[in-house]
């Protein structure tokens, strides 16, 4: 609907009549348009008439004419718009702005908007400025989409180059805090493997004592916004922490941190498993707008991608570590096996050499006088024939069988086969 001020008496001057007709044409042209259109009158900028798009923008509860724009939208004064209208009215110079940022509304229902706007002076037949024509085309969605695409692309590039998860999540939190129209504090909690507890992931703007207090909270019904969202596997929007029963156990903590609202969304894997939660905190009670919900949906999905990628990389690293460990263990086994084989071969060669020496000694000593039986047996004695004479560096000597001689040589380091060609043991000691 088009809101128009009360009946105006016809103008006697043809020029004035033509000017009025032109403005009536503008009203007709913009009456059902999506472009914002309003006619302001006088130095107080009374809203003389406006189209439906204008009142949809300011809020239908404020759809009144005959009221100064500053009274209808008091939030504009602090943003410089009333001063700008005063300037156009005073100088008669039009103003054109591109992507002008406007905060519409106040309190928890305030929202950020962007407009391409023009303020053109309205003049009477004498050329005097009588008011201002306001025309605006909202560019909020385009502006938000451009910013969102730029930031989102940067995050995807981080994920693609396998940046550390903490770096990705911290960057995502800061990105959202910059994109949000009002102050927002972002938190990402990561689910344990059993999905029963949530651990700190990223929260660059929340105080440390708060992050430490909620690190490890259980998932469950009524456990704040995040614990409940993780339990339900669906978003939990708490617009006023002070009055919400979900925050009964955490209300004092939230108050100490200066938090008044918390919207939490579960971060889910492709198979539906819980990966964590994504939360947006506010300093005042607040209801989410469409742009907030869009941010939540986009970045919850991005967080899921980053976390799943991290889990894949962790699993890959674990598998590679196990493979390296198994390889190292196998290499160690092979090395030990080679060493044992070499030792066995050395022992075999030494044994063969000793056996040959013993055969030669037995043959050489066979004609020498020697006891009948082996002298190297244990207490009961050895009944095997004595074949070889051995001695030690202390001057002791004895005859023994082949088995006991070999055992003595292997176990007593100072024992050797006596060599009669050297004059026996005495000759060896006196050599």
Task: Output the pLDDT for position 428.
Answer: 45
Question: Which residues 6+ apart lie within 8 Å of 306 measured at CB?
Answer: 155, 158, 159, 165, 168, 169, 172
In this prediction, residue 153 carries a pLDDT of: 83
The radius of gyration of the chain from alpha carbons, rounded to an integer in Å, stands at 48
pLDDT at residue 132 in the model: 95
Which positions of the chain have pLDDT values less than 50? 1-19, 25-32, 421-428, 431
pLDDT number for residue 280: 93
Secondary structure of residue 276 in the 3-state scheme: strand
Structure tokens at 142: 């385009």
The pLDDT assigned to 418 comes to 82
> Pick from 189, 154, 183: which is nearest to 171 by CA?
154
pLDDT for 216: 94
Q: Is residue 199 within 8 Å of residue 192, measured between CB atoms?
A: yes
- Position 313 scores a pLDDT of 83
CA 418 to chain centre: 81
pTM: 0.53
Q: Where are the beta strands (DSSP E) in 310-354?
A: none
pLDDT, position 430: 52
Residue 123 bridge partners (DSSP): 129
> What pLDDT shows up at residue 424?
46
For residues 235 and 293, give the distance between their C-alpha atoms in angstroms, rounded to a whole number. 10
């Amino acid at each position: 609907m088009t809101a128009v001020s009360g009946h105006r008496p016809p103008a006697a001057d043809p020029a004035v009549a033509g000017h009025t007709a032109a403005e009536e044409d503008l009203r007709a042209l913009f009456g059902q348009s999506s472009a914002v259109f309003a006619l302001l009158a006088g130095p107080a900028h009374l809203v003389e008439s406006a189209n439906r798009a204008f009142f949809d923008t300011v809020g239908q509860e404020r759809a009144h004419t005959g009221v100064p724009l500053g009274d209808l939208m008091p939030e504009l004064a602090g943003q410089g718009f009333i001063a700008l209208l005063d300037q156009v009215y005073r100088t008669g110079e039009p103003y054109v702005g591109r992507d002008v940022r406007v905060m519409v509304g106040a309190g928890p229902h305030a929202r950020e908007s962007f407009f391409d706007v023009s303020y053109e002076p309205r003049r009477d037949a004498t050329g005097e400025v009588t008011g201002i024509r306001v025309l605006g085309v909202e560019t909020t969605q385009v502006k938000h989409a451009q910013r969102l695409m730029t930031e989102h692309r940067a995050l995807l590039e981080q994920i693609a180059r396998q940046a550390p998860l903490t770096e990705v999540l911290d960057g995502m939190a800061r990105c959202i805090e910059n994109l949000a129209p009002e102050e927002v504090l972002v938190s990402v909690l990561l689910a344990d493997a059993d999905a029963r507890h949530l651990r700190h992931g990223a929260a660059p703007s929340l105080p440390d004592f708060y992050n430490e207090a909620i690190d490890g909270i259980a998932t469950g019904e009524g456990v704040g916004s995040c614990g409940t969202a993780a339990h339900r596997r669906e978003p939990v929007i708490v617009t006023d922490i002070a009055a919400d029963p979900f925050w009964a156990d955490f209300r004092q903590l939230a108050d100490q941190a200066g938090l008044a609202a918390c919207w939490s969304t579960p971060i889910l894997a492709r198979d539906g498993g819980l990966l964590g939660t994504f939360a947006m905190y506010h300093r005042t009670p607040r209801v989410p707008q469409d742009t907030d919900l869009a941010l939540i949906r986009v970045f919850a999905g991005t967080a899921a991608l980053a976390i799943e990628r991290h889990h894949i990389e962790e699993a890959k690293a674990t598998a590679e570590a196990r493979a390296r460990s198994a390889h190292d263990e196998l290499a160690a086994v092979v090395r030990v096996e080679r060493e044992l084989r070499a030792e066995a071969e050395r022992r075999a060669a030494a044994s063969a050499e000793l056996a040959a020496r013993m055969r030669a000694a037995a043959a050489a000593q066979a004609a020498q006088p020697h006891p009948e039986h082996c002298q190297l047996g244990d207490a009961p004695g050895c009944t095997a024939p004595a074949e070889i004479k051995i001695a030690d560096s202390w001057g002791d000597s004895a005859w023994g069988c082949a088995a006991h001689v070999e055992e003595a040589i292997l176990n007593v380091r100072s024992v050797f086969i006596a060599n009669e060609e050297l004059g026996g043991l005495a000759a060896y000691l006196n050599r």
